[in-house]
Amino acid sequence: MITGKNYIGNSISAKGSITFKTFNPLLNAENDPIFYEASNNELEDAITIASNAFKIYRKTSGKQKALFLNTIADEILALDDLLIKTYCSETGLPEGRAKGERGRTIGQLRNFASLVHKGSWVEASIDSADPERTPAPKPDLRKMLIPLGPIVVFGASNFPLAYSTAGGDTAAALAAGCPVIVKSHPMHAGTGELVASAIIKAAEKTGMPNGIFSNLNSSGIQVGLDLVQHSKIKAVGFTGSIKAGRALFDLAAQREEPIPVFAEMGSVNPVIILPEALQRNGKSLSKTYAASITLGTGQFCTNPGLILGVKSEELSAFIQDLGKEILQIHPSVMLHPNIIGAYEANKAEAISQPNLEVVTQYNGEVQPNFAKQMITTVEGKAFLKNTRLYQEVFGPFSMVIQCENIHQLEEIISSLEGQLTGTIIAETNEIEIHSKIIATLQNRVGRIIYNGVPTGVEVSPSMVHGGPYPSSTDSRFTAVGINSIKRWVRPFSFQDWPNHLLPDELKNENPLQILRTVNGSQSSESI
């Protein structure tokens, strides 16, 4: 049952006077439930109990945290059809996608559960004392990662499950030992409430302290701004637009005590098609890329928004083929009228630029909120001169840049802002010949892909989802995969601390049998 209320820890609460509804883009109508924005008192309460919960949760064992995370996964599955139906009604996305994303969410929770159950992730490190050392005795030093404190998570509009309420940021923070306050995304507030209820049930079932999780509704920006500025909040996770992400980053940096904001923001994900590969595979590439550009109605942060090639007959043919292929794909619905509104506005802004040529646009009749895909093209020289063409058009839109030559292609790559991904379509020998282009691209991105598409972000330890600004606010971390836990922890040293009072991770006897660095060597033995 969706109540429309906030979760302040395990209490449901609706003290605010502002209300809003979610929207079904397929039906082009509001959904029934009324959501109550969190009031300032509710926000304060959520932060106070989070801060108190941290005192207990920071010392909670990895095994208990694992049980909590696995129970969240179980409780999300137990929501069953209600969750899937709510998800679809608030996004327009098909049931298959809803179930796929639920699977990914569950998988992430279980991955983090496994990580903290094993326990070696804390990077325990022990340097033994040497009391005989001259001129000064060497102390005993033991280090491990510890949680930062209460974290605020802003969910993503385009991933209502996997990067929202119990998504990657929340799972990583809870695994780290940090309480989480979610600023629920207003476009899928019902999905958010259901998932929040699952987290709260799991917290109660596994005896977690009240306050370890809260879910605050808000259709505006004030709740988010207040959360980020609150002195008891110690870090922020965000997925969304550059404008919003940067605003939060700026606020956090201006605090008396600045705090880290990890914002995963926009990206145009450049794809470089080198000549030989184009010659050999042009036809199939046009099909592959038409599919990638329109996947999920283009609503992925890894959507290929920029394709670069060197002017040639083959490139002209590819552009035409891509234009034709994209017309073969039936338009699909976007998440919300605001999203399609922005898509249409950004598209119009792009094609109003001099020298940008529309190759094809879907021109059939479509239902309300359905996006008409578009392929455009521009000459390299014109692109370089016009920074407006560098802006992301979030949706099923892509721009093919026809470069004069390889040199200009490299110049364009080096002029790009930071990107989540870069893709190279090439024959193997072309990578070797054009190693300078690869190096330039590598310097602008977090992940480089060979002969594939950027869409489809594998959740695995070797994934980097993040990259130089503005694809993220701190390229030193990833937002996807188990290593994303490192955003929410800090190293901590104990010097000459009595063995029996150390955390289990650092005790001589290594009761958790974790892998540690002992005097420079890896070991899971006791010392």
CB of 59 to a copy of itself, least distance (A): 8
Contacting a copy of itself (CB under 8 A), which of 329, 366, 382, 448? 448
Q: Which residue in this structure is represented by tokens 């450049």?
A: 270
CB of 234 to a copy of itself, least distance (A): 8
Closer to a copy of itself by Cβ: residue 411 or 474:
474
Cβ-Cβ contacts under 8 Å for 333 (sequence gap 6 or more) = 25, 26, 92, 297, 367, 369, 370, 371
Distance from C-alpha of 476 to C-alpha of 468, rounded to nearest angstrom:
9
| By the rule CB under 8 A, 244 interacts with a copy of itself | no
Q: What is the three-class DSSP state of 169? A: helix
From 291, 280, 283, 98, select the one nearest 188 (Cα to Cα). 98
DSSP element (H, E) containing 358 = strand 357-361
Distance from C-alpha of 269 to C-alpha of 301, rounded to nearest angstrom:
8
Distance from C-alpha of 352 to C-alpha of 346, rounded to nearest angstrom:
10
Contacts with a copy of itself: how many residues (CB under 8 A)? 74
CB of 97 to a copy of itself, least distance (A): 12
Q: Which residues pair with 23 in a beta bridge?
A: 30
Closer to a copy of itself by Cβ: residue 58 or 205:
58
Contacting a copy of itself (CB under 8 A), which of 432, 513, 526, 527? 432
Distances (CA, A) of 414 to 78, 235, 269, 438, 440: 49, 32, 13, 11, 6
Q: Pattern of binders to a copy of itself over 212-231, x per CB under 8 A? A: --------------------
Alpha-helical runs (H) found in 484-526 = none
* Whole-angstrom Cα Rg for the chain: 25
| By the rule CB under 8 A, 517 interacts with a copy of itself | yes
| By the rule CB under 8 A, 280 interacts with a copy of itself | no
Contacting a copy of itself (CB under 8 A), which of 20, 159, 249, 300? 249
Judged by CB under 8 A, the chain residues 30 through 59 that form the site for a copy of itself are 55, 58-59
Closer to a copy of itself by Cβ: residue 6 or 108:
108
Contacting a copy of itself (CB under 8 A), which of 64, 288, 451, 523? 451
Active site residue 301: yes
From 342, 403, 337, 345, select the one nearest 370 (Cα to Cα). 337
**Active-site residue, from 101, 301, 392, 403:** 301
Cβ-Cβ contacts under 8 Å for 330 (sequence gap 6 or more) = none
| By the rule CB under 8 A, 474 interacts with a copy of itself | yes
Closer to a copy of itself by Cβ: residue 56 or 317:
56
In 45-148 the beta strands, taken as DSSP E runs, fall at 125-127, 141-147
Judged by CB under 8 A, the chain residues 394 through 423 that form the site for a copy of itself are 417-418
Distance from C-alpha of 487 to C-alpha of 481, rounded to nearest angstrom:
12
Closer to a copy of itself by Cβ: residue 78 or 436:
436
| By the rule CB under 8 A, 493 interacts with a copy of itself | yes
Contacting a copy of itself (CB under 8 A), which of 450, 509, 511, 527? 450
Q: How many CB atoms lie within 10 A of CB 330?
A: 11
Q: Are 179 and 57 in contact (CB under 8 A)?
A: yes
Judged by CB under 8 A, the chain residues 293 through 312 that form the site for a copy of itself are none
Contacting a copy of itself (CB under 8 A), which of 40, 428, 508, 513? 428
| By the rule CB under 8 A, 477 interacts with a copy of itself | yes
Q: Pattern of binders to a copy of itself over 359-398, x per CB under 8 A? A: ----------------------------------------
Beta strand pairing call for 374-379 and 11-13: unpaired
Judged by CB under 8 A, the chain residues 124 through 183 that form the site for a copy of itself are 125-127, 135-136, 138-139, 141-143, 146, 148-149
**Active-site residue, from 37, 75, 90, 264:** 264
Q: Determine the interface stretch with a copy of itself among 154-162, 191-199, 341-349, 461-469 (rule: CB under 8 A).
A: 461-469
Q: Are 349 and 397 in contact (CB under 8 A)?
A: no
Contacting a copy of itself (CB under 8 A), which of 464, 485, 512, 514? 464
Closer to a copy of itself by Cβ: residue 59 or 341:
59
Backbone φ, ψ for residue 205 (5° rounding): -60, -35
| By the rule CB under 8 A, 343 interacts with a copy of itself | no
Q: What is the three-class DSSP state of 137? A: coil
| By the rule CB under 8 A, 5 interacts with a copy of itself | no
For the four alpha carbons of 27, 29, 31 and 37, in that order, the dihedral sign comes to positive
- The catalytic site residues sit at 264, 301
